[in-house]
Structure 1
Amino acid sequence: MLKFKLLLWVFAQLLKKQIKKNPVCARYIEGKDLTFQIRTNAGTGRYFVIRGGAIRSFAGLTADPQFTLSFQDAAKGFEILSAKDSQAAFLRGLGSKDLVISGDFLEVMWFQGLTGFLQPSKVICAYDRTAF
């Protein structure tokens, strides 16, 4: 459970860093007013507030999120959220019911765009056209 909690905290820190250093990411959240949470079925989790061009996160749960990602347990949450093939892992989690998404699916789609800013981009070497 500790790894899951730490992962959620680190997730918020990484988003804050992207917002500060990446103007495209900063523009992406500009004007957004969103509260969402990531939790386990047992009630462990963290909620995130995007407002005023910034993101804040808080331990625990909120009463009225616009959407919730609920994992069967902390181990499954950590496994899915930290997977290298994140999109496929989410789909597998949804199919197996290890992950249930509730709330506003338009906001979930927007959130997926936000998480894209955390994906490492490939750098193409102009000389030999290889990615590294």
Structure 2
Amino acid sequence: MRFRILLVLIYLRLRWLSNNNAKFQRKIAGQDLSISIGFIDDDRGRYFVIKGGSITSSIGTVDSSDLHIRFSSAAYGYTLLTKATKNPMAFAKGMNSRNIQLVGHMHHIFWFAEVSRYLPLRQKKSKNKRSLHNNSSLSSFK
């Protein structure tokens, strides 16, 4: 269930980026491809279509996708997708252990890897939080 929710959140984030982030808009401009993310042993998952600078998504996987990303299990897929931006070698390790299958042209795989760095939400520290962390009177609580 968490994996399916994560895929919907990825879609919402991609759609938000396509409307609000100029760098991301340049990355998807002129792209015409589909990406299926799912499981090795069945058709559960989600597919994404990038066309004309916009992104759509639907439930399921499509055999004719340009790029297939398949995981051995929902738990493994969830863990990898949430940690992959912090550890770029995680996909390579997963492929070596046969927990991930990437099927598609290499330029689509590299394009997806480049675009995936836009997925995590960036949290900005507020000035109040910074001043609390730097307050010497609170250092005794550490």
The residue matched to 2:69 in structure 1 has which SS? Answer: strand
Residue identity (%): 29
* Distance in 1 (alpha carbons) for counterparts of 2:96 and 2:11: 26
- Alignment size in residue pairs: 122
Larger radius of gyration, structure 1 or 2?
2
| Structure 1 residue runs without a partner (length 5+) | 124-132
* Distance in 2 (alpha carbons) for counterparts of 1:54 and 1:6: 21
The residue matched to 1:26 in structure 2 has which SS? Answer: helix
Q: Which residue of 1 aligns with 2:137?
A: none
- CA deviations on 1:68-91 (whole Å, 9 max, x unpaired) are 011011111111111162413212
The residue matched to 1:62 in structure 2 has which SS? Answer: coil
CA RMSD for the aligned pairs?
A: 1.7
Return the offset for 1:28: 1.1
Name the aligned partner's letter for residue 56 of structure 1.
T
Q: Are residues 1:45 and 2:49 paired? A: no
- Scaled by the length of structure 2, what TM-score is found? 0.79
* Distance in 2 (alpha carbons) for counterparts of 1:57 and 1:77: 18
Q: Which residue of 2 aligns with 1:93?
A: 94
- Scaled by the length of structure 1, what TM-score is found? 0.84
Structure-2 change in CA distance of 1:14 and 1:104 (3 Å) = same
| Structure 2 residue runs without a partner (length 5+) | 125-142
How do 1:1-132 and structure 2 match up within 5 A? 2-41=1-40, 42-83=42-83, 85-119=86-120
Structure-2 change in CA distance of 1:38 and 1:86 (3 Å) = farther
- CA deviations on 1:14-58 (whole Å, 9 max, x unpaired) are 111112111111111111100110011222110110001111111
